[in-house]
Structure 1
Amino acid sequence: MMTSTIFTIARQYGSGGRQIGKKIAERLEIPFYDKELIAMAAKQSGMSEAIFEKADEKASSSLIYSLLMGTYAYNAQLTPNDLPVNDKLFLLQTNIIKQVAQKGPCVIVGRCGDYILRDNPNCFNIYVYADQESRVKRAVEEYGIEAKHAAEFIAKKDKQRANYYNFYTNLKWGAAQNYHLTLNSQKFGIDRSAQLICGAAELLHSAP
């Protein structure tokens, strides 16, 4: 199946969004970007990948928000090195996401991909969610989270992702109007969710 679509996937923790994205990439034989974006950002900046991993998808209470919102008083001495690690990573990943999208179809997981590529007509933006029970089950069985701490860990990760998205986009993470499709992965499973998304993208971009 040929495609020109750039898939961006926002996902609740434990919903299987990453696995679904991987299946889409395999099915369509297109590049897949998730943690790969961290490695690419580290290579471009010369900074440690481990440092960026700690900052990944975490918002900072710093000046980048003011810069994005246009409320920061410009300082001619300001350089990228003056930014906190979180903001530096966000800017690097923003540039990388735009670069990979220019190259052609791909799957991008998280990191405000839908917002960063909001002006790209080939984007198909998806939000993947699932019920609490199935998310806890996946967190324990696939991600190795202790069962007694799984629900708390899931809530923490979701809050972290929401804060990151809300902070850098000034939009609400998970709000239906920000996506072309919201999907309950527990109802369809990983394989059928990927199949459904591919079919929906084909319909979207073949519409007159």
Structure 2
Amino acid sequence: MKQPIITISREFGSGGREIGKMIADHFSIPYYDNALITLAAKKSGFVEEMFEHTDQKPTGSLLFSLSMFGGMASFEMPLNDKVYLIQSDIIKEVASKGGCVIVGRCADYVLRDMPNVVNFYLHADLDTRTDFAIRMRDFPPEGAKEKVQKIDKRRASYYHYYTGKKWGDAKNYDLCIDTTKLGLEKTADLIIKYVDLRA
């Protein structure tokens, strides 16, 4: 395999960002997550804060499908759908340049027709993820568990809306890993070994 293109879908608090950075460092390839928002904002001319506000929030409308398949002009699309299309273009662009690690953004689906792509899904038990949210993301302890669940529900809805697939379904990924069992470093090691075996 040439330099790997690795996508990581993850439950909130399962360590996807940290693990993704370890993997990118190991292979000496670029890492992208929220940086895609910045790239997309610069390319489109939209204000970056607008991307952050709409990011990973599906519209729930039919206009995205109509615009994709009915020939509607792009300016008639809801902003959320424009953001998704621009980010998809950015994902394809960075992946076309060589190996990289991309966290979130439906990257596994966006790059489904590209060779050298390996897709992972990371999950962890709710208590572990809630503790992570409190310690590392400064969530107030009261209501933290509910907020973590709400974020995951939003991610699942976003993924289904733009892909038509179920977020977290093992059929959509090469490997699904419970980071509770291995921890972040060993999970990164496992992914690296898997990618090496695919070479």
Could you say whether these structures have the same fold, taking a TM-score greater than 0.5 normalized by the shorter chain as the test?
Answer: yes
Cα distance per residue 1:149-180 (max 9 Å; x no partner): 11111111001000010000001100000000
Distance 1:115 1:81 in 2: 24
**Paired-residue identity, %:** 45
Report the Cα offset of residue 58 of structure 1.
Answer: 1.2
Partner residue, 2:42: 43
Distance 1:8 1:18 in 2: 11
Give the alignment of 1:1-208 within 5 angstroms: 4-62=3-61, 63-68=63-68, 70=69, 72=70, 74-75=71-72, 78=73, 80-204=74-198, 206=199
Call closer, same or farther: CA 1:3–1:187 in 2, change over 3 Å: farther
**TM-score when normalising by structure 1:** 0.91
Question: Is contact 2:67-2:77 (8 Å) kept?
Answer: no
Cα distance per residue 1:118-173 (max 9 Å; x no partner): 01120000000000111011000000001111111111100100001000000110
Question: Is contact 2:2-2:116 (8 Å) kept?
Answer: no
Question: What SS does structure 2 have at the residue aligned with 1:23?
Answer: helix
Question: What SS does structure 1 have at the residue aligned with 2:190?
Answer: helix
Letter in 1 for 2:156: A
**Gaps in structure 1 of 5+ consecutive residues:** none
**TM-score when normalising by structure 2:** 0.95
What is the Cα-based RMSD across aligned positions, in Å? 1.3
Question: What SS does structure 2 have at the residue aligned with 1:120?
Answer: coil
